[in-house]
Amino acid sequence: MITDDGRELWTSATGRGEPILCCHGGPGLWDMFGTLDPGPRFRLIRWDQRGAGRSDPRGPYTLDRMVADVDAVREWHGLDRVAVLGHSWGAHLGLLYALARPERVSALVYVSGVGLGHDWHTEFKRNFERALGERHARWAGLRAAGHDEGRELAVLQWTADFVADGERHAEAMATPWFPVNYEANAALSEEMRTVPEESLISACRSLRVPTLIIDGTADTRPRWAVDSLEHALPSVTRVRLPGVGHVPWLEAPEEFRAALTDFLG
């Protein structure tokens, strides 16, 4: 599909049921929802965000532009209103889209997001180092050697996102492999830090879109960071999956599917 500013975005639809528009994590990564199975009642709308994966490698990379791209994907697939599911950074993107275009969002599924504030990074770094254990030295060495775009570094880093079978799951996430877009990551991450938590809380208090927050209790990103979002939303359900990390549909597929289909049903 082509956006209004002439950027080509890769997108895919699988299934025949009610549509779910997916926003992948990153920023600067690509769609990794290929293993997500919501059941036969649903149709997954997947896409690679601009600058990532199979989409056009050019920007601009701004929050407003990314929100406009979500709307463009919805419109291209001929959807008037749609359930939006976002993971990690994509959860924040889905929330921003719901705040900007609530009339287009029938429900929001906020998976492993990092909340509205910016003070979770220190605890995350401690948890990340603890999760990698003796492998952290190898990760730090690859970073120091400038292998930021390398597959080995990414797989090693993503291993920390899982409680069990981390290497297997991380390898699956890295297949197929595309270059990580660190320009997009830096630009969008920096802009996110300029938005005060208080202004987002105020906006969320007026959001009437039913929202499901799904957390893995063993996520290295601290889950208390999402509390202010939960408290601000007028219509919210929160499901905590015990002993599950950052990518719950891989570690606990049946529990994740049950939470998703119960909410959307």
Tens of pLDDT, residues 62-98:
999 999 999 999 999 999 999 999 999 999 999 999 9
Report CA Rg, the chain.
17
Q: Which are the contacts of 199, defined by CB distance < 8 A and separation ≥ 6?
A: none
Tokens of 62: 């701004």
Provide the domain limits for residue 257. Answer: 11-120+181-264
Residue 2 domain-assigned (yes or no): no
Residue 191 domain-assigned (yes or no): yes
CATH label of the domain that carries residue 229:
3.40.50.1820
Give bridge partners of residue 83 from the DSSP assignment.
20, 107
Q: Where are the alpha helices (DSSP H) in the chain?
A: 63-76, 89-100, 121-132, 136-144, 151-159, 166-173, 182-193, 197-204, 227-232, 248-251, 253-264
Residue 144 domain-assigned (yes or no): no
Residue 164 domain-assigned (yes or no): no
Residue 61 domain-assigned (yes or no): yes
Task: Please calculate the CA angle 175-178-183 and round it to the nearest 5 degrees.
Answer: 140
Residue 212 domain-assigned (yes or no): yes
Each residue's pLDDT tens digit, 107-133: 999 999 999 999 999 999 999 999 999
Maximum separation of any 2 CA atoms in the chain, in Å: 50
Residue 136 domain-assigned (yes or no): no
The predicted structure's pLDDT at residue 265: 86
Q: How many independent structural domains does the chain possess?
A: 1
Cβ contact 103:81 at 8 Å: yes
Q: Give every residue of the chain whose pLDDT is below 50, as ranges.
A: none
DSSP output for 66-119: HHHHHHHHHHHTT-SSEEEEEETHHHHHHHHHHHH-GGGEEEEEEES---S-S-
Residue 167 domain-assigned (yes or no): no
